Structure 1
Amino acid sequence: MDPRPDSPSPLLADRYRTLERIGEGGSALVYRATDAHLGREVALKLLHDHVLPSDRRRFEREIRTLSRISHPGVISIYDLGTDEQGRLYFTMQLLEGGPFHCLGPLEDTPEQHERFLEAAHEVVAALDHIHAAGMIHRDLTPHNILLGADGRPRIMDFGLVYLSEGTRDLTRTGYTLGTPQYMAPEQAKGGRIGPATDLYSFGAVMYRAVTGRVPFEGDNDQAILYQHVYEPPLPPEQVNPAVPRPISEALLIFLAKRYEDRPASGAAAALHLRGALEAVRRSHVPGQYRGGLARAGYHPGGPTDPRRLEAAWELKLAGEVSWPAAVVGGRDYLAVGTRRSTLSLLEHSGHRYAELPAADEVTGPVTLERKHVVYGAWDGSVRKVDLRTGVERWRHRTRAEITSAPSRWGDSYLIASRDGHLHSVDEESGELRWAYKTVAPIAASPLVWGGSAIVADEEGWIHGLDASGGSPLWKVQLSAVHATPCVAPTGRESALLIVPTWEGELHALRMILERGRYRPDAADPLSWTYDLEAELWASPAVWGQRVFVGSWSGDLRCLDLVSGDDLWELHLGGRITASPVVSGGYVYVATEDGEVLAVNALSGTPVWRERFDVGVQATPLVMDGALYVAFMDGTVRAFRH
């Protein structure tokens, strides 16, 4: 029990048994407590023994305000009363998912982008409800927006709320109470406040979540407030290159200096966030191999009911399509490399758009952007080509074959070659920024997580580098790696790096955040190992708490992400070299004997399957309600319902 004199009695009001303290403010303490009447855990907020009258009034205001609000995005109040010493308390929902900024910093994973934007949408919907009731929160911070066990955010801490009276305008002058790092310009100047004041504060909260930093920092409160009033924030993607541009642009609208330049209401703010979500789903995510730089194999926007998939069109390309190729899709086009020294660009309708030349085979996946495509070939060259005109912007030359995907990171591309070099080249000029030499040839595509570039070579060394400067951070050795690893978050400051080895073992390396970078846990880096007893040429896919991996023996397995335990197994007839992808709760997989399936990700039950005369080695694509598959003979087929 808390030894402080203002700690509560063991059984407060003959009902609440306090456990440990979980929060503290200037006027109150917050405890985890058990409700003896209902047998549930609650958060109990208790006023200090000796507080100023203004603090007591603020505490009472918070109770009254919360009692007036009924919305799923606002924390629920359960009970209020006084303890044996006459101190005010109230009980509310116990939220244990952490503050709002635990949703970031953002990595280049579509699941995380969707989760962040959907959570932000719920917050602005709750703010719209609060504002419609005549209230302005005035102190939105990450710690005043907590996540529940379900991952949904709830707004709390209404001690500074401004309550309008009758038909009075929702503005007021003379108030500068709040938290400087999240304070709107008009609030910092003691000016008029309104709904857009809260939206600015939430913009600053979102900025902290996606970048890991507040918009403005300073030696004192006045320095921070000055910047809020007069200086523009850095665009979020400049602070964290993993932030998609649609999210960055949406956040800057919230952080407009002038009140009238921000969304006028929570409903208007919701439209901005919904537009950002649609833009991310449409253009940013699919253009990177395996759905993003985490290489997790998750693609948003898959068929809602794959049981009704039917052939929509097919088109024969100029050459064969073989491992480790992939169908990559952007907003307007699909891209597939061939062994006939061409990159084929197709429209989503199945019409041929262009054939781009190369000096040798194009078997590695490409990076497809809004205006450009970046692709490598077996002659060691990497080209950036304008999609509209077909004009080559630049060509970067390496010393060996390119069989991996160029990886976009900020204003550069990471390019791995078969001689073991990883190059970083400038996005505008293609000029070399830095180079790193691994121990052995590289077949796997590089990935980026937490600002670190991670690449695996064919002697089994896993290298971690600073993605911006190329300096080595760490390396560990497993066994030969041909397929691309992937990474999945497991906590606020932890992740698992899933590494498929050619010998058939799937390793999960425990990654922890140290000094701003993720590194293998020095105490015990290996979380688990699973032996599939067959070669692994296909990359694993991760969805939620599940890992999906296909082996050369034709087995598709689902493992628990945290423990590595078997969840289900499906034996297919042919070898699996095409990497499985997951979307909408289904796993899409193809085999070398021509079988293409959609499998329920939870049960392992096939819900749709077709067999063809030609096999598949290229990773398929799922987007915009369609499944795209490139067969080894160069035929691309689309399936829709």
Structure 2
Amino acid sequence: MEIGATIAGRYLLHALLGEGGSAKVYRARDDLLGREVAVKVLHPHLPEGDRARFLREVRTLARLTHPGVVPVLDLGEVTDASGLPRSFFTMPLLTGGPLTALGPLEDAPRPLAHFLTAAAFASRALGYIHAQGIIHRDLTPGNILLDAARMPRIMDFGLVALSEHSRHLTRSGVTLGTPAYMAPEQARGVGVGPRSDLYALGAVLYRVACGSPPFVGDSDQSVLFQHVYEPPPDPRDLNPAVPDAVARVLLALLAKRPEDRPESGEAAAHLWALARRDVWARHARGQYRGGRTRTGEHPDGPARPEHLREAWSVPLPGEVTWPAAVVGEGDLLAVGTRGGQLVLLHTSGRPYATYAARDEVTAPATFQEGHVLYGAWDGTLRRVRLDGQELWQHQARAEFTGAPTLWGGRVLAASRDGHLHALDARRGELAWAYRAGGPLAASPVLWAGAALLCDENGWLHALDARSGSPLWKVEVGTVHATPALLPTAPGEATLIVPTWPGEVHALGLSAASGRAQLATPEPTLWTYDLEDEIWAAPALTPGLALVAGWGGTVRALRLADGEDVWSHTLQGRVTASPVVSAGLVFLASEAGELTALDVQTGEVRWQQREREGVQATPLAAGGTLYVAFMNGTLRAYREKPEP
């Protein structure tokens, strides 16, 4: 079984992928069909019982035909160099790595989408397996692998086959399975069922989301004890980027009693679907740049802009100017005015509520689970329930200039006097305050446990988001607009910093130390001189950075090296930030131009000219584009095919 050998006259062994107690797994080429496969070969000199278990695993896999289960392609026997017979079987080669490659979870649309899709898919695969009368009994990150499309495939059914021939899950006093992911009833050796696998899947997904399994200890016995007797830590305590809806499903899967868990894989998949709806409806629309929408990408805007038509237009009690933005939650929209009001409307255009302030409300508001947070120029930040009850106020010495940013049960809000305030989201109590070297005009960006903050004196500050302790800072130039951040690989991200004089810096970040750090040896990936002032936040989509100059030219720059991909020039000045959704970038100018471009080519897909100008960032949500005009008009554009 040497590398380079061909077995069964067909499979050329390229590399050893892994080895267990009973078998080795090789990467190989199937010369007959011209494809890459994985070959699992049994060790020689194994007891007959282990050989029988190996063959039972193959037969178990062969019974399962589901896209979420690794199938058997071939089964055979080969004689090795010593003349001993070796059983083997082949499987598709999965190149995406273990399921943990999707984590730790980052609070951004694409990582969340990948995680939620994979979680629901794996749950459905388990539902199928259980419907065949099979219980896996040993789900771990190592046997839920990702294919080339980053979809999970369940494999390694060794304990399934063993359990079909044994009533007991203990042998010589040792529980079979992997302690870190074992259900309480399995740890106690009192019998398992489908919901035991759901618990194990919950523990695996917990590790994906948080970077750590729910229980760790100095010994297997310590971990098993915690599974049986200790409540799992709230995932949001380990990783504050985990959305509330995701945390609720994880904790439901990890319920101590089987009857308190989802009743089936399909039921678990339904919970993940509800979590997806909650994440997009409540959070992805509910906060301006800095939090989940720090890339400027909205998940469900209009997909066919050529059919966009005005659906309704509503006057607001005051002008809407920079740095305002339209935000939403569910079927509600919110936008602040210079008249000192935060106005809430239904997505139908019907008025919902108006909340007053003592001064201009131009910083974007933020929704959070039936509440809205908004700041005013008098330095007051308020949290109000949607029924109008004010829960708390926080008074700063200067106006709030950025959107309140949610992170780990806290609200991070920047004020003009250079302070970043971290408040308890429920009670409004000050947890910590950090003073930068100059005035703040932008929201903080959160990634890998760090708050990244730019001041107008030219510095980018990185703070520990839990404590407010400074981590590092670097000089970048005066910044008025919120930077944009895109995770590019596990533990890596690119931060795009737009400076007011027009230089755009791309900085590489690393989370290898557990907190965001500048990548070494050279953190600046590239710098591009727009030769224009920048007031709008950039937007990012995989491979591209979209940057708008005040003069009206919008450029798509290659994220890897800053090279021009395309540019488009509007007639009016641009202060509203570009918004990306459904493969489009939506733009608005102070001259009243509304434009949708193909994000990859810059091709114009839709144009509309209005009398009023726009400085506030639009919202693309629910197949609709919502635009707040400077004269105080909120207008909705929806897809309406021509009759």
TM-score bracket, normalised by the shorter chain, equals: over 0.9
Whole-Å separation in 1 of the counterparts to 2:453 and 2:154: 41
**Displacement of 1:220:** 1.2
- Give unpaired runs (5+ residues) of structure 2: none
Secondary structure, in 3 states, of the residue corresponding to 1:77?
coil
Q: Does 1:204 align with 2:199?
A: no
| Shift in CA distance, 62/164, structure 1 to aligned 2, threshold 3 Å | closer
Structure 2 counterparts to residues 354-365 of structure 1, below 5 A: 354-365=353-364
Matching residue of 1:221: 220
Counterpart in the other structure of 1:353 = 352
Aligned residues of 1:100 and 1:209 also touching (Cα < 8 A): yes
Q: Give the TM-score normalised by the residue count of structure 1.
A: 0.94
Question: What residue number does 2:137 align with?
Answer: 138
The aligned residue for residue 6 of structure 2 is: 11
Offset at 1:363? Answer: 1.3
One-letter identity of the residue aligned with 1:590:
A
The alpha carbon displacement at 1:95 in A equals: 1.7
Q: Partner amino acid for 2:498?
A: P
Secondary structure class of the residue paired with 1:136: coil
Worse overlay, 573-582 or 35-44: 35-44
1:518 alignment partner in structure 2: 516
2:583 aligned partner: 585
In 2: Cα distance, 1:51 partner to 1:529 partner: 61
Inter-partner Cα distance in structure 2 for 1:563 and 1:58: 53
**Measured at CA, do residues 127 and 358 of structure 1 come closer, stay the same or move farther in structure 2, by a change above 3 Å?**
same
- Which stretch has the larger CA shift, 583-592 or 83-92? 83-92
- The match for 1:3 is none
Matches within 5 A, 1:608-619: 608-619=606-617
- Asked if the contact 1:285–1:291 (Cα under 8 Å) also holds between the matched residues in 2, the reply is no
Q: Distance in 2 between matches of 1:35 and 1:127?
A: 29
Q: 1:503 deviation in Å?
A: 2.3
How far residue 618 of structure 1 moved from its aligned partner, in angstroms, is 0.6
CA contact (8 A) 2:303 2:623 kept: yes
The range that moved more, 201-210 or 85-94, is 85-94
CA contact (8 A) 2:290 2:405 kept: no
Other structure's SS at 2:24 match: strand
> Is the contact made by 1:347 and 1:353 (CA closer than 8 Å) also made in structure 2?
yes
Q: Is the 8 A contact 2:287 2:293 kept in 1?
A: no
**Which of 619, 622, 636 is equivalent to 1:621?**
619
Give the whole-Å Cα distance in 2 for the aligned partners of 1:102 and 1:202: 15
- Matched ranges for 1:376-395 at <5 A: 376-389=375-388, 391-395=389-393
**SS in structure 2 opposite 1:135?**
coil
* Counterpart selection for 1:416 from 409, 414, 417: 414
Q: Specify the SS of the correspondent of 2:400.
A: coil
**Equivalent in the alignment of 1:633:** 631
Q: Which residue of 2 aligns with 1:254?
A: 253
Residues 620-629 or 16-25, more deviating: 16-25
Deviations 1:229-286 (A, max 9, x none): 2222122223222211111111222112222222222222211111111121221221
Aligned-partner residue type, residue 524 of structure 2: L
Which of 40, 49, 63 aligns to 1:68? It is 63
Which has the higher mean CA deviation after the structures are superposed, 586-595 or 62-71?
Answer: 62-71
1:6-45 alignment, distance < 5 Å:
7-8=2-3, 10-45=5-40
Instruction: Count the aligned residue pairs.
Output: 631
Q: Does 1:454 align with 2:465?
A: no
Displacement of 1:69 in angstroms is 2.1
What is the root-mean-square deviation of aligned Cα atoms in Å?
2.1
Residue in structure 2 matched with residue 342 of structure 1 by the alignment: 341
Deviation of the 1:352 alpha carbon: 2.3
Q: How does 1:8-407 map to 2 (within 5 A)?
A: 8=3, 10-85=5-80, 86-162=85-161, 172-175=167-170, 176-290=175-289, 292-293=291-292, 295-389=294-388, 391-407=389-405
Task: Give the CA deviation at 1:52.
Answer: 4.0
- In structure 1, the residue corresponding to 2:39 is in which secondary structure? strand
- In 2: Cα distance, 1:58 partner to 1:466 partner: 51
The answer on whether the counterparts of 1:498 and 1:507 sit within 8 Å (CA) in structure 2 is yes
Calculate percent identity across the aligned residue pairs: 55
| Structure-1 separation of matches of 2:178 and 2:4 | 32
- 3-state DSSP class of the match of 2:73? strand
> SS of the residue aligned with 1:549?
strand
Can you give the 5+ residue segments of structure 1 that lack an aligned partner in the other structure?
1-5
* Residues 322 and 575, structure 2, Cα contact 8 Å, conserved in 1: yes
Residues 288, 327 of structure 2: 8 Å contact kept:
yes
Aligned 8 A contact 2:377 2:398 in 1: yes
Letter matched to residue 97 of structure 2: G
Does structure 2 retain, via aligned residues, the 8 Å contact 1:483–1:537?
yes
Alpha-carbon distance between aligned partners in 1 of 2:346 and 2:124, rounded to the nearest angstrom:
37
Moved over 6 A (4+): none
Q: State the alpha-carbon separation in 2 of the partners of residues 581 and 348 from structure 1.
A: 19
How many angstroms apart in 1 are the aligned matches of 2:590 and 2:341?
23
3-state SS of paired residue (2:52): helix
- Mapped to 1, the partners of 2:92 and 2:290 lie a distance apart of 36
Q: Distance in 1 between matches of 2:386 and 2:226?
A: 41
- Residue by residue, what CA displacement relative to the aligned partner does 1:337-373 show, whole Å, maximum 9, x if unpaired? 1112222222222122232222222111111223322
TM-superposed deviation, 1:25: 1.9
Deviation at 1:564, TM superposition (A): 3.0
SS state of the match for residue 508, structure 1?
Answer: strand
The SS at the match of 1:633 is coil
